[in-house]
Amino acid sequence: MSPIDRLSLNQKTVNALGVMESVDLCQRHNIASIGLWREPVAEHGLDATVELIKKAGLRVSSLCRGGWFTETGPAFEDAIEENRRAIEEAQALEAACLCLVVGGLPDGSKDLDGARDQVRRALGLLVPYAVDRGVTLALEPMNPIYAADRGVLSTLGQALDLCESYGPEVGVMVDSFHVWWDPQLHDQLQRAGSRIVSYQVCDWITPLPADTLLARGMMGDGHIDFATLGSWVADAGYTGDIEVEIFNADIWATDPDQVMATMIDRYTRTSDAAD
């Protein structure tokens, strides 16, 4: 087994590229799996993307993303409808999972518990739709840095509590950037077991860039011990793809082939224990 057999390129890492160019890039670098985003998929066309992926023989390790459940009233209903579309797309693409970024506090709201209740409510509405289509939903706990404006789901433990009402159709996405600091991480990964349906890697770098959305680094450029984290994820039983998803302005400004070469090199050097 090649050390990069499980490596997946999340499109966001090469943000300037469309679906076609991202697929070409994977093929040039012998990467067998890709994490897709809905917007570029829509731009290329869903059917055309399905065809392209099939022809290239790639796995789709995730579709990013559904979620944004925390509004109330008509905005909530709209979000549910939009997520039904995302589930259909994940089904068509045979994605290993649909990533769910649950959303932050609604404008002007300070009701964190209320926002978290909306996530539970949304799952109740969406899970049957996902089950009917054979799509796995992946709850993504997010670093507390994003709790206010992006994701009120803040820890792996909290995500697993949400999973408990459901079968294997609801799991968790473990993203190193979001969970690396958690003192309960080892125990919650053990608890998660087969609930781990996606493992994403990128590094926590300091000082944080001014735009914290773009604060993620190439593995090895920051503070995360990927060998240890990877071994914990493996010990929990995860054998799926390992997806590199990096939001970073400097990386986005770099030649994609160079990004790919660096990514493969860093992945191989930092993730030994995961393979």
Q: Residue 137: in which H helix or E strand, if any?
A: strand 137-139
Give me the helices (H) in 57-184, please: 74-92, 112-132, 156-163, 176-179
- In whole angstroms, the minimum distance from the beta carbon of 176 to a second copy comes to 11
Give 57 or 108: the residue with its C-beta nearer to a second copy: 108
Which listed residue (208, 258, 261, 269) binds a second copy by CB under 8 A?
Answer: 208
Q: How many residues bind a second copy (CB under 8 A)?
A: 31
- In whole angstroms, the minimum distance from the beta carbon of 14 to a second copy comes to 25
Task: Say if residues 218 and 197 touch (Cβ distance below 8 Å).
Answer: no
Give 18 or 209: the residue with its C-beta nearer to a second copy: 209
Within 148-207, the residues that bind a second copy by CB under 8 A are 148-149, 154-155, 157-158, 180-184, 204, 206-207
- In whole angstroms, the minimum distance from the beta carbon of 100 to a second copy comes to 16
Q: Which residue has tokens 């399905």?
A: 50
- In whole angstroms, the minimum distance from the beta carbon of 208 to a second copy comes to 5
Task: Say if residues 10 and 62 touch (Cβ distance below 8 Å).
Answer: yes
Give 162 or 260: the residue with its C-beta nearer to a second copy: 162
Q: SS in 3 state form for 28-81?
A: HCCCCEEEEEHHHHHHHCHHHHHHHHHHHCCEEEEEEEEECCCCCCHHHHHHHH
- Among the listed ranges 11-19, 92-100, 107-115, 241-249, the one in contact with a second copy (CB under 8 A) is 107-115
- In the chain, the amino acid numbered 80 is I
Give 65 or 150: the residue with its C-beta nearer to a second copy: 150
Within 115-154, the residues that bind a second copy by CB under 8 A are 116, 143-145, 147-149, 154
Over its C-alpha atoms, the chain yields an Rg (Å, rounded) of 17
- In whole angstroms, the minimum distance from the beta carbon of 221 to a second copy comes to 12
Kind of pairing between the strands at 216-217 and 203-204: antiparallel
Give 143 or 248: the residue with its C-beta nearer to a second copy: 143
Kind of pairing between the strands at 216-217 and 242-244: unpaired
Q: C-alpha distances in angstroms, 57 versus 17, 30, 53, 60, 235?
A: 19, 11, 6, 10, 29
- In whole angstroms, the minimum distance from the beta carbon of 67 to a second copy comes to 17
Residues binding a second copy (CB under 8 A): 105, 110-112, 116, 143-145, 147-149, 154-155, 157-158, 180-184, 204, 206-208, 210-212, 222-225
